[in-house]
Amino acid sequence: MTSYAISSGNWLTPPHHRLGLHRVEDVIPCATLARGEAPVRELVPATEPLDWGLLTVPGPDGRAVGAEEWLARTHTDGILVLRGETILAERYFGEFTAASRHIVMSLSKSFAGMLAGVLAAAGLLDVDAAVPTYVPELAAGSYAGATVGQLLDMTAAPHYDMSYLEPDAEVHAGDRAAGWRPRQTDDVVGTRSFLAGLRGAGRHGAGFQYCSGTTDVLAWVLERAGGAGYGELMRRHIWSRIGAEDDAFVTVDDHGTPYACAGMGMRLRDLARFGRLVLDDGWREGTPVVPADWIARTRRGGRFTTTAESDAAAAGTYRNQWWIPGDDHGSFYGVGIFGQYLWLDPRTDVVIAKFSATDRPVAETPSELDALGALARAAAVTPQEA
């Protein structure tokens, strides 16, 4: 059992984060995203699950390592491998259980991207519109010249440093404004006050710039377009429609504003259910939840190559708040710091959901992506196909 206590001052700091990432609701204010009254989407355990002892994945140096070693090295809290409706593997570690909810960090951005697709298809959101069309409060700031589409693809260029290991970076100021870290004397209170105060920008649309603040601006836009609070929109259009077995949560600041860039949390099986919905082209039991053409555009990727300074330390592209590595399986994924992943492989029809508490917030090599890709390929080789 863990012997240390967590608080609002240490829950993001190793080693306390190994407890903090799945005890967020104990230390940070959260709003509930109710699962609604829809039937739970049943996931069926495989009669012959994956044998972890026989699996290998690429390690940090490119050499194969045992899957058990990989799970331990990445401080896995839980992992679920789903093919179709069949659970090929489901494991939990330490104090984390199937009933626990884990924050997904920047994987929250991928939920925002799918919500944007719903509102765009309903005619409520114009992705070509300028940000101040929806949020006039930002007309004098870093996002004044950006379009909604540039928010979605991370090609807006605010003055915003995402260096997690630099204490003075804007990403930490954003966390403090959202109530995630103890505030300093001159800090603003509230995510949107912080965003409205950002000044300076590069040339919007000229290249890729991963930025958490950009997703929170997107959430602000979605609220104005959708005519309801961000949490309510997410509940109404996404969470209550995936067949979740439990409510989700999202952290909120002093004003009740959700931290859309990183604050969502849920059970592992429910994260996999969301992945199943997206991999099924947005359909749930014959009903469209997310537009299939929006998911297809997302999978085609963005215009610019991503860089190792982002959450995912590997080249690829980015579209609609999802990462597209450009592999031969057409994989795409969401990711959050400290090792939160939702990996979707269209060729093998495999969803991998993984919660972790890695030693460092951002992976230093692309080996985690290689490992997930290898696991998806191994999962496709069922006993019937071998």
User: Which residue's structure tokens are 């104005």?
Assistant: 224
Which residues are CB-neighbours of 141 under 8 A, at least 6 positions away? 195, 196, 197, 198, 199
Evaluate whether 237 touches 191 at the Cβ level (below 8 Å). no
Catalytic choice (100, 106, 310, 367): 106
- Residue 138 φ then ψ, to 5°: -100, 10
User: Which residue's structure tokens are 């297809």?
Assistant: 296
> What span, in angstroms and rounded, lies between the C-alpha atoms of 212 and 31?
20
Structure tokens at 44: 């069926």
Catalytic status, residue 106: yes
> What span, in angstroms and rounded, lies between the C-alpha atoms of 215 and 104?
15
> What span, in angstroms and rounded, lies between the C-alpha atoms of 82 and 90?
9
> What span, in angstroms and rounded, lies between the C-alpha atoms of 70 and 42?
29
User: Which residue's structure tokens are 């605010």?
Assistant: 158
Element (H, E) at 66: strand 64-66
Which residues are CB-neighbours of 186 under 8 A, at least 6 positions away? none
Evaluate whether 133 touches 147 at the Cβ level (below 8 Å). no
Q: Under DSSP, is residue 60 helix (H, G, I), strand (E, B) or coil? A: coil
Q: Under DSSP, is residue 288 helix (H, G, I), strand (E, B) or coil? A: strand
Evaluate whether 316 touches 333 at the Cβ level (below 8 Å). no
Sign of the four-CA dihedral 321, 327, 331, 337: negative
Angle subtended by helix axes 170-177 and 212-226, to nearest 10? 40
Residue 244's closest CA among 276, 222, 281, 290?
Answer: 276
Structure tokens at 75: 């401080």
For the annotated catalytic residues, the residue numbers are: 106
